[in-house]
Amino acid sequence: MATVYDFTVKDMKGNDVSLSEYKGKVLLIVNTATGCGFTPHYDPLEAMYKDLKDKGLEILDFPCNQFANQAPGNEEEIHNFCTMKFGTEFPQFAKIDVNGENADPLFAFLATEKPFTGFGKGLKNAALKKFSDMNNKAFGDKAYIKWNFTKFLVDREGNVIARFEPTEEMDKVRKEVEASL
């Protein structure tokens, strides 16, 4: 059975990084964007990282520009924005596609392991669904991720155990991360 440890990704400089380097850690893998309404998620993500990294948490940040062009910069510009505005210290990787023919295999795997089940109820969630559906029409059955700041929780054995849409309250995400540690 495949785990996230079977995948290799690119760091910000284009070097290969085997996710097997994170064996034994709890991972929160996130696709991000610097110009999104959910960009403030960087604050609770960084707070969680600072509080829990010594207990075995790693947050892996993958910038993506496939959602309304909300991450237009290159890796260095995105990294500088995140570190200067939010003080992020968790690992940031190369900008990737998470949907379509060029989707990074890691994200195709994550989304296959924990498929999209909805944004939840409420007006804000309904509006995001409508916008997401329009944006992702071009990707058809390869629209794995519905929007920026989708988060996948991975246990210490490399198994995907939860998916959190960007509309999920960050307090709930943190509680599930803490329970996994």
Chain segment 24-63, per-residue pLDDT in tens: 999 999 999 999 999 999 999 999 999 999 999 999 999 9
Average predicted confidence (pLDDT) for the chain: 95
pLDDT at 163: 98
Residue keyed to tokens 């309250």: 169
Q: pTM, whole model, 2 decimals?
A: 0.95
Res 7 pLDDT > 90? yes
Q: Are 58 and 26 in contact (CB under 8 A)?
A: yes
In the three-class reduction of DSSP (H, G, I as helix; E, B as strand; rest coil), residue 90 is classed as coil
CA 157 vs CA 6, 71, 74, 92, 161: distances in Å: 11, 31, 32, 22, 10
The proportion of the chain whose per-residue pLDDT surpasses 70, expressed as a percent, equals 100
CA distance linking residue 119 with residue 147, whole number of Å: 10
Architecture of domain 4-180: 3-Layer(aba) Sandwich (3.40)
Domain ranges of the chain: 4-180
Res 147 pLDDT > 90? yes
Res 73 pLDDT > 90? no
Q: Which residues are catalytic?
A: 36
pLDDT at 66: 95
pLDDT at 82: 92
CA 27 vs CA 46, 69, 77, 136, 161: distances in Å: 14, 26, 25, 26, 10
pLDDT at 122: 84
Strands 26-32 and 151-154 come out as antiparallel
CA distance linking residue 85 with residue 124, whole number of Å: 26
